[in-house]
Amino acid sequence: MQPLHVFDGKGLTVARIAELSRSAGAVVLSAESWRRIAASRSIVERQLAAGATIYGVNTGIGSQKDVGVAAENLASFSNRMVISEATDFPGPCASERAVRAALVVLINNIAGGRTGVRPEFAKRLLELYEAPRMPTVRQDTSFGTADLTPLSQLGLAVLGISLDEREPILTTRMNLAPKESVSLIDNNSFALGSGALVLVQVERLLRAFDVAAATALEGLRGGLRAHSEPAAGGYRGEGQARSRRTLLGALTGSRLHRPDQARFLQDPLSFRSITQINGAAYEAWSWTKAQVEAEINSSVDNPLVDLDSGELFTSSSMVSLLPALAMDTLRQALAKVAIQSMERALKLQSPPFSGLPVGLSEEGAPDGGILSINLNYIGAARMGSLMTAAAPVVLHYVGQTADGVEDVTSLLPLSVTQTEVLIDRAWETVALEMAIAVWAMARRHLAPEDVGKGPRKVYQALLPLLHIGDEGRRIFNMSRIVEAVRDSDLVDEGARAF
């Protein structure tokens, strides 16, 4: 049987992490990785035998960096470090998938061969990955200068013990050798693993915004010339080109391609600038993915082993600023996309722009349409939390930990968490725009064959869930629409309808 993945410390992508995090399976390290691991371990053992003082190996860590470990305590010191750092603080648990994603990133880091751990330690991590479940790990316990606490809680499973009352995942005990504890915890595998899962979600979310915009164009009877390549005024990056392909592809077969269909000479900017703004978000996503993948495939530890010189170098490689900065940028780009989406939804309900009765109600009805089921009020409230989550976090100062030794942090875990919050709100915004666009299409009595293939799928899926003509007689359930948009294959089918 072929292994799920061969780790070599390089070439691991966010998409591959998403795949490997779904379930257990057999994974292996490359032959070169095993060679590098053995070589780096030999360097550590030679340095120890020569009496060298090595941070986190025969000294304490952080504020206790200058306190040596007595020779008689060296054998137990690594286990004690992990157990000490694994404080069980109250809070929600990370998902099984997030823990497995972190383990994938950790294995890839070890496979780079610069941490100085034993081959037995690497084999133990592979064994843990093959287990049917993951250990309990608490969320929100890392502030961005190495995921010390969550990785220590994961490390308990390596030792053969458990954070909670459940049976240990690996039933045999293991004692860590000098250097292995610091190599286990002195990296950002949790933030990077969760960041990889977030990026996979964002890519799909951006496709959803393109399909929602195509559906809104159908509801408005908007013009398409603003979305043509000549209208871009020159090459504006692959992001805009990608958004254009998805948008116009979803509108394949639409009557909007005819020159007599546009209701306005020039649509509002929220309709004209779809590919410009969504394209910028694709660019931000691409840049963020590049920074996260670069970090995932770099060696992270303190100290790091240099195979060429045979020396150990003190390192700040765990200060992952570029991924945090990129994730902050991505959130702001996504927020701009969501703002534009909400503007389109509002324009579809406004008679001067839609040409339809206010709130998409029946002609002359005082208590119908979108306004009657208060989607705008709820949408505005949710946009408030979305905008709050979009704020950058890298400039928040969390310093002077470890008695002032650790006075710089990236806050990458917080940046990832805030992106997860924003994604939830953004899916609600997508669903809101789609629902209102479908409502407008229904008010115009558009025939399915007259609209693009993508909006047609959205129309067919969401129309039965709307209360058109029945407002106020039964409670409207927006959750069903959000679920239909986010959790089904509607977005993927709509985006590949062409």
On whether both 418 and 310 belong to a single domain, the answer is yes
The residue type of 218 is E
Report whether pLDDT(112) > 90: yes
From 191, 246, 201, 210, select the one nearest 424 (Cα to Cα).
201
What pLDDT score was predicted for residue 489? Answer: 87
Phi (first) and psi of residue 179, to 5 degrees: 95, -25
Least confident of 196-205, 348-357, 360-369, 461-470: 360-369
On whether both 29 and 138 belong to a single domain, the answer is yes
Domain boundary among 132, 165, 187: 187
Residue 18 vs residues 56, 87, 397, 406: alpha-carbon distances, Å: 32, 28, 31, 32
pLDDT tens column, 43-61: 999 999 999 887 878 786 7
Residue 324 vs residues 204, 329, 431: alpha-carbon distances, Å: 21, 9, 28
Residue 212 and residue 179 in contact, taking contact as beta carbons nearer than 8 Å: no
What pLDDT score was predicted for residue 432? Answer: 96
On whether both 174 and 217 belong to a single domain, the answer is no
Domain boundary among 138, 170, 187: 187
Residue 415 and residue 327 in contact, taking contact as beta carbons nearer than 8 Å: yes
From 298, 401, 382, select the one nearest 339 (Cα to Cα).
382
On whether both 206 and 156 belong to a single domain, the answer is no
- Show the tokens assigned to 21: 């995090």
On whether both 388 and 474 belong to a single domain, the answer is yes
Q: Would residue 67 count as lying in a domain?
A: yes
Helices 189-220 and 238-250 sit at what angle, rounded to 10 degrees?
50
Domain holding 108, by residue range, is: 6-187
Mean pLDDT of 171-191: 95
Report whether pLDDT(186) > 90: yes
DSSP line for 461-480: HHGGGS-TT-BTTB---HHH
The residue type of 104 is V
What pLDDT score was predicted for residue 161? Answer: 95
Q: Would residue 317 count as lying in a domain?
A: yes
What pLDDT score was predicted for residue 66? Answer: 62
Domain boundary among 134, 153, 187: 187
Hunting for tokens 């089904």 — which residue is that?
A: 488
CA–CA separation, 369 and 489 (whole Å): 28
Please tell me what DSSP assigns to residue 22. S
On whether both 346 and 457 belong to a single domain, the answer is yes
Residue 197 and residue 16 in contact, taking contact as beta carbons nearer than 8 Å: no
Report whether pLDDT(443) > 80: yes
On whether both 297 and 377 belong to a single domain, the answer is yes
Alpha helical stretches, state H, 50-114: 74-85, 96-111
Q: In 192-303, which ranges are E strands?
A: none
What pLDDT score was predicted for residue 406? Answer: 72
Q: Would residue 480 count as lying in a domain?
A: yes
What pLDDT score was predicted for residue 113? Answer: 97
On whether both 337 and 376 belong to a single domain, the answer is yes
Q: Would residue 1 count as lying in a domain?
A: no
Report whether pLDDT(154) > 90: yes
The domain that holds 252 is classified in CATH as 1.20.200.10
On whether both 168 and 224 belong to a single domain, the answer is no
Question: Global pTM?
Answer: 0.94
Q: Would residue 451 count as lying in a domain?
A: yes
On whether both 390 and 269 belong to a single domain, the answer is yes
Report whether pLDDT(347) > 90: yes
**Chain-centre distance of CA 47, in angstroms?**
40
The residue type of 403 is D
**Chain-centre distance of CA 472, in angstroms?**
38
Q: Which helix (H) or strand (E) holds 306?
A: strand 304-306
The domain that holds 179 is classified in CATH as 1.10.275.10
Report whether pLDDT(404) > 90: no
Work out how many domains the chain is built from and give that number.
Answer: 2
On whether both 39 and 139 belong to a single domain, the answer is yes
Mean pLDDT of the chain, nearest integer: 92
On whether both 178 and 216 belong to a single domain, the answer is no
